[in-house]
């Protein structure tokens, strides 16, 4: 999977996040990486457990978890805590695979899907592309501020070096209720069909009801929650 969700945050919300991010405490991002990732991670990470940080974390989490396209594509059971990263000139995050689990204790989450919410105008920095090597080939992303990219946590990926400016991004992980990626993809296609039919048919039309039945029964069959 490699999916870009446009305008998850609007311009005003992006500006709000940028302003609040400037007031946070930032530390070496390698502290939160594991295995090989610790060796190749060269960026800064915000403290989102402080008072201002928790408020920003809640704002971002609410926006991400409520988005209908993300819910349809990921079939989320649980979300990890979010991370806010800052990558400046000379910094990068080299090729790596995300850990199978993130967090500890009650916050421990299996990582089926990863996401990056871009928070900087792409014209404001050079480099910094997110590159994901999926089964369908390599994908490079440097979308508009407010766009989110969703991809498989098991795919090798990297953030290319930033050579000018600064890249601000929010990252997190999802444990999907539907672990099989092919089943998840099929449900996403059906959810897209349901959305398209919703603009043409009344909710009580036979075709619409039949599709609702199929989706519900497939979720019952495939979901692990």
- Residues 19, 35: Cα–Cα separation, whole Å: 33
Q: Tell me which H or E stretch contains 65.
A: helix 51-65
Say if residue 167 carries a ligand binding annotation. yes
Q: What is the pLDDT of residues 200-213, one digit of tens each?
A: 877 778 888 899 99
Give the phi and the psi of residue 206 in degrees, each rounded to 5.
-55, -40
- What was the pLDDT predicted at 136? 85
Torsion angle of C-alpha atoms 21, 22, 28, 33, degrees rounded to 10:
10
- Boundaries of every domain in the chain: 2-176, 181-222
Has domain 2-176 been given CATH number 2.60.120.620? yes
- Residue 98 marked in a binding site: yes
DSSP 66-127: T-HHHHHHH-EEEEPPPEEEEE-BT-EEEEE---SEES-GGG-EE-SEEEEEE-S-GGGSEE
Report yes or no: 76 and 54 within 8 Å, Cβ to Cβ: no
Q: What is the mean pLDDT of residues 29-55?
A: 82
Residue 7, token pair as written in the block: 């305008």
Write out pLDDT tens, residues 85-113: 999 999 999 999 999 999 999 999 999 99
- Could you identify the residue written with the tokens 């349809």? 72
> β-strand 101-102 against 109-110: which pairing, if any?
antiparallel
DSSP letters spanning 154-212? TSEEEEPPEEES-EEEEEEEEEES---HHHHHHHHHHHHHHHHHHTTS-TTSHHHHHHH
| Total Cβ atoms within 10 A of residue 16 | 14
pLDDT of 61-73, one tens digit each? 999 999 999 999 9
Q: How confident is the model at residue 225 (pLDDT cuts 50, 70, 90)?
A: low
> At which residue do the structure tokens 């409520």 appear?
66
């Amino acid at each position: 999977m490699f999916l870009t969700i446009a305008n998850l945050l609007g311009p005003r919300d992006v500006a709000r996040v940028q302003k609040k991010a400037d007031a946070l405490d930032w530390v070496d991002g390698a502290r939160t990486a594991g295995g090989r990732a610790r060796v190749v991670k060269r960026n800064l990470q915000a403290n989102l457990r402080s008072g201002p940080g928790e408020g920003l974390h809640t704002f971002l989490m609410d926006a991400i978890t409520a988005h209908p396209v993300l819910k349809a594509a990921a079939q989320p059971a649980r979300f990890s805590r979010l991370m806010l990263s800052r990558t400046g000139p000379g910094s990068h995050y080299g090729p790596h695979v995300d850990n199978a689990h993130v967090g500890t204790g009650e916050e421990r989450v299996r990582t089926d899907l990863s996401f990056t919410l871009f928070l900087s105008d792409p014209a404001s920095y050079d480099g910094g592309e997110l590159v994901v090597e999926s089964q369908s080939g390599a994908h490079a992303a440097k979308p508009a501020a407010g766009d989110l990219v969703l991809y498989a946590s098991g795919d090798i990926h990297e953030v290319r070096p930033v050579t000018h400016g600064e890249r601000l991004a929010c990252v997190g992980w999802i444990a999907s209720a539907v672990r099989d990626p092919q089943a998840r993809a099929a449900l996403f296609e059906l959810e897209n069909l349901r959305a398209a039919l919703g603009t043409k048919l009344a909710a009580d039309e036979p075709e619409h009801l039949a599709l609702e039945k199929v989706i519900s029964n497939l979720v019952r069959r495939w979901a692990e929650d």
